[in-house]
Structure 1
Amino acid sequence: MRKAPSTESPSEKPPSIPAFTGPETPSLPEVFSSVSIPTGHWPRKLFAFAGPAYLVSVGYMDPGNWATDIEGGARFGYQLLWVLLLSNWMAILLQTLSARLGLFAGRDLAQACRDYYSRPVAMVLWVFCEIAIVACDLAEVLGSAIGLNLLFGIPLMVGVVITAADVLLLLALQKHGIRRMEAMIVSLVFIVGACYVAEIFLAQPDWGPLALGLVTPSLNRESLYVAIGIL
């Protein structure tokens, strides 16, 4: 059987993806640099790339997440575990897309929005992002202040000042290289992880209903708002 002749010229090429037209400014220029890859076994090489993952993981260990998850567990038991699993899969998808954007375009999400959208749309997105950042930071600052108050009896206002001071300390540490900040964050993540493992042994959960809650979607009017908070 003879094929119909192609109408495309051999010299024609498929349309290319339009490149971003913004200024050639890297994301976080104060820490923008190449990462040295150690020689040896693969775990050492993997750890060289794992720093950004630990920085991102802190966003899922803030007091706001802890408070929402604890409330969900205290009120509804294992019923909302599937929401927690779903939210983690969504987070993995979004972080993967963000990483691909950075690798392909050399832009972070904010720079890509500025380059791709018109100025009015970019300004609206900026306002929404600032509101989201303020809301997230407010929960983290208040959660840290309440934690200091419960553990050491420190007044809430003093706890807020201490929390703001340690944020400035981390920002100052960033000027000495991203590796030092990564080391600090990795230490904190391991401490939180160790506490979490200890809590699992102390709580002694019922593994059967726990596994069922992970794979069985269940939602009602009372648990809806807590599920939204977890997401």
Structure 2
Amino acid sequence: MKTIQHALTMKLIVLTSPLTFAASSTDLTVTGLITPVSCTPSLSNNGLIDFAKISRQDLSVDKRTRLRDQTLDLSIQCTAPARFALMMHDNRDGSAIVNSEIYYGLNHDSSGNKVGLYSLNFDPSTTVVDDLPQVFRTDSTVGGLAWSSSNGRPIPIGARSFLGFTNVAGSSAGPIAIRNLTSRVTLETVISPTSALDLSTEVPLDGSATLDIIYL
């Protein structure tokens, strides 16, 4: 009898306990918007910056050396006015000597040492948008959910921040629709100290990045 009573007691506990079963399914939702507008970016000289050969004597032994700044002309042509932003993807990710979204790597030498870094800097004062009298930049670190107050200060193009353009100073409304944009961007390059590099053979500067247009 004791065995039977114990079994009945257990059964009552199970029947009176709240259900705690885990769900055996979940939903997946896919959203998006296909836009008929397309924008094409291009850089002068096919986006190539060539420093040619640099003598080790022109580089610091124990400090980083900044090379002479270089410029490229940036053009963005859209089939119709479009709201967009810029980002840049480092194709040599992890090789910059400073870990920051605004710095991109120059790859490694034969011993695996990081060669240096560079940044690509946008200046509103050298930018022309359609027939607007003046251009300001605005940026977003939250994927376009909020925008910084627009201003005319230069800014590096980041790998995790949106860079947009507007004709209103002090606005946090985000980028305006643009059809044609031209600007001159500046490349700033820094090389590691020669004491941190393997110079037993020639060391190539091997930077590569992709400039992306983000439609808003």
TM-score (norm 1): 0.22
Larger Rg: 2
- Greater helix percent: which structure? 1
Q: Which has the higher contact order (CA 8 A, sep 6+)?
A: 1
> Higher strand proportion, which one?
2
TM-score normalized with structure 2 length = 0.23
